[in-house]
Amino acid sequence: MVHPHPPYSTPWSRQSMSTPRDQWRSQVGFILAAAGSAIGLGNIWRFSYLTYENGGGAFLVPYLIALFLVGIPLMIVEMGLGHFMRASAPVAMGRISPRFQWVGWWAVLLTLLGIEIYYCVIIAWCLDFTFLSLGLAWGNDPNAYFFKDFLGLSEGPFDIGLPNPVILLTLALVWGINWWIVRRGVAHGIEQANKIFIPILIATTAILVFWSLNLPGAMVGVHAYLSPDWSKLAQGKVWIDAFTQIFFTLSIGFGIMMAYASYLPRQAPVVRDALIVSILNCGFSLFAGFAVFSTLGFMAQAKGVGIDEVVAQSIGLAFVAYPEAISHMPFLPGLFGFLFFASLTIAGLSSSVSLVEAFVAALGDRYGLDRKMTVDRVSLLGFAGGIVFTTGAGLFWLDIVDHFLTQYGLTMIALFEVLATGWILKSQRLEEHLENAAPFRMRKVYARFMRIVISLALLGGWLGLTAAGDSLGAMLGRLLLLLALASIWVAHSWFDFSVRIIIPVILVILLDGALTQEFAPIFQDGGKWYGGYNGAAVFLLGGGWLLGTLTAAIAVDRHRPHPHHDQCPAPE
């Protein structure tokens, strides 16, 4: 066990070790902040598209299995580690074993120097479109307006050009908001901001849902959104998409939930809060999807085309398809557009604040740095790093970097987290801590429920392998799944079994599937790299950014200016 030590000298001013660790003012404040972190842009545009693409209502089956099988246990692990260790990701992982401290640093460095710097640029786009919507600035061709007029998209990733002054100015404003909120601290800044953000987000989304459901043709969109195509469940891609969406939408692997949970009091219902945040996040995704697809159904009817001709992926859905639908609205289209992009902006800000806090908390815990001075420097660094994403090549860079960091970086971080928790710390020890912190009254009921969910997932895998044939690999896989099915019913704890066995196996499968999709086209389709980009761009931007954050994490971990390990209270 690591014990607190007096601060040591560094170039930055320090906070006194006598200062108590910041805490949330209320349990509701923590839940709103954690939900605000989890609910982001992907909840509004990515989930809707994935549901439509992967069988409509049928997609909810693997999605909910993924939620209970992987999402909630991982949320409990991250919140539990933060609460148990009373520290942010690097220090918490270092207390499990000094050999794993680099994992925590990789989480917060990848979060700030990768995801946050381009995420804030997307928020800047949303903020710009919030006001552009009032005058329907995109006219009759939203596609040309967004890519050519607004972004000034160049010919490729290496045709960078100069920053777009409008986007750059809005990016500065976004970082200014992040700076102001995080600088004020956990209770007075982050908690207070989310007490404003989340109610407004829910209210605006509710208005959009009920407004869009009353548009002509709305039911066409709802039918396309939820009508089940059960045959899709036989496709492995559908299951991979479900697990991937759950994994990324809950802010797992970012180091955020560890930092947030470390600010909870000693007696806190962490398991209950993890359940609430996870279910709130997924419920919001499903609810927001009605607004998206009702509006697209209206547009399809107005244009006299099928719904499949108006649906677009992610960014195209938000900045091209949706503006076109808004233009066709018979009543106050500018107000509808304002509410839609305002909700995107708020969802983005509540998440971006948490991304900054994860890194600031790590520096404060590890080096005892003054919060305000740290936030000043981190905000300037983040803004400077985002400038390249405001250039003509910014969208290309964003696409490539996001693909590599989220597809590989976060998955590997989560894998190392559960391996360290399950096999070194011992997940049963974490479970005992959480039970002592606040007994979970539904524990036995939930344990039985989780055993059923895990059993159904294992049975589904067994049926899939049966359909795959009688190869040696399929037969071995069926045998292992049957052994796992038997084990979960005799295991002392579903949580321990899930953390030590199930989740690592699923994360390895996700990594394997991602790598197969990444490299198969290169060898099979004549050297076709991700997104149709040239190999140099993918390797240098995607692989380079991923390896760069990993290298930085290892370097920071090895830089030990003082023998004391950290500057935050040790677990009791």
22 Rama class: left (phi>0) / alpha (psi -120 to 50) / beta: beta
| Per-residue model confidence as pLDDT tens digits over 119-174 | 999 999 999 999 999 999 999 899 999 999 999 999 999 999 899 999 999 999 99
Let me know: does 418 contact 557? Beta carbons within 8 Å: no
Phi and psi, residue 368, nearest 5°: 70, 30
Q: Where are the alpha helices (DSSP H) in 251-370?
A: 256-261, 270-303, 314-316, 322-327, 333-367
Predicted confidence at residue 256, as pLDDT, reads 96
Structure-token match 């992610």, residue found: 314
What is the predicted pLDDT for the residue at 519?
Answer: 81
* Average pLDDT of the residues in 349-363: 97
- CA separation for the pair 417, 559 (Å, rounded): 22
Do 10 and 367 meet the contact criterion of CB atoms below 8 Å apart?
yes
* Res 59: pLDDT: 86
The pLDDT of residue 532 is 84
pLDDT digits (tens, 9 = 90+) for 196-230: 999 999 999 999 999 999 999 999 989 888 888 87
Digit-coded pLDDT (tens) for 526-571: 667 888 888 889 989 999 999 999 999 999 998 765 544 455 555 6
Whole-number pLDDT of residue 4: 36
| pLDDT computed for residue 303 by the predictor | 85
Task: Give the DSSP letter of residue 570.
Answer: P
Q: Length of the chain in residues, anyone?
A: 572
Per-residue pLDDT at 526: 64
Average pLDDT over residues 475-490: 58
Indicate the Cα dihedral angle 237, 239, 241, 245, nearest 10°. Answer: -170
Q: Band of the pLDDT at 63, cuts 50, 70, 90?
A: confident
Domain boundaries, the chain: 27-440+491-558
- For the ranges 106-115, 409-418, 440-449, 499-508, the lowest mean pLDDT is seen at 440-449
We find that the CATH architecture of domain 27-440+491-558 is Up-down Bundle (1.20)
Give the separation between CA 484 and CA 497, rounded to whole angstroms: 9
Report d(CA 388, CA 545) in Å as an integer. 14
Alpha-carbon span 40 to 324, nearest angstrom: 23
User: What number is the average pLDDT over the span 274-286?
Assistant: 93
Question: Which amino acid does the sequence have at 351?
Answer: S
* DSSP letters for 116-172: IHHHHHHHHHHHHHHHHGGGTTTTT-HHHIIIIIIS---SSTT---PPPHHHHHHHH
Which three-class secondary structure string do you get for 43-90? HHHHHHHHHHHCCHHHHHHHHHHHHHHHHHHHHHHHHHHHHHHCCCHH
Q: Which amino acid is at 136?
A: L
**For residue 474, what pLDDT is reported?**
52
Give the pLDDT score at 70.
85
Contact predicate 324/142, CB 8 Å: yes
CB 428 within 8 A of CB 492: yes
- Closest of 74, 242, 241, 95 to residue 571, by C-alpha: 95
- pLDDT at residue 3 above 50? no
Which residues have CB under 8 Å from 286's CB, separation 6+? 47, 60
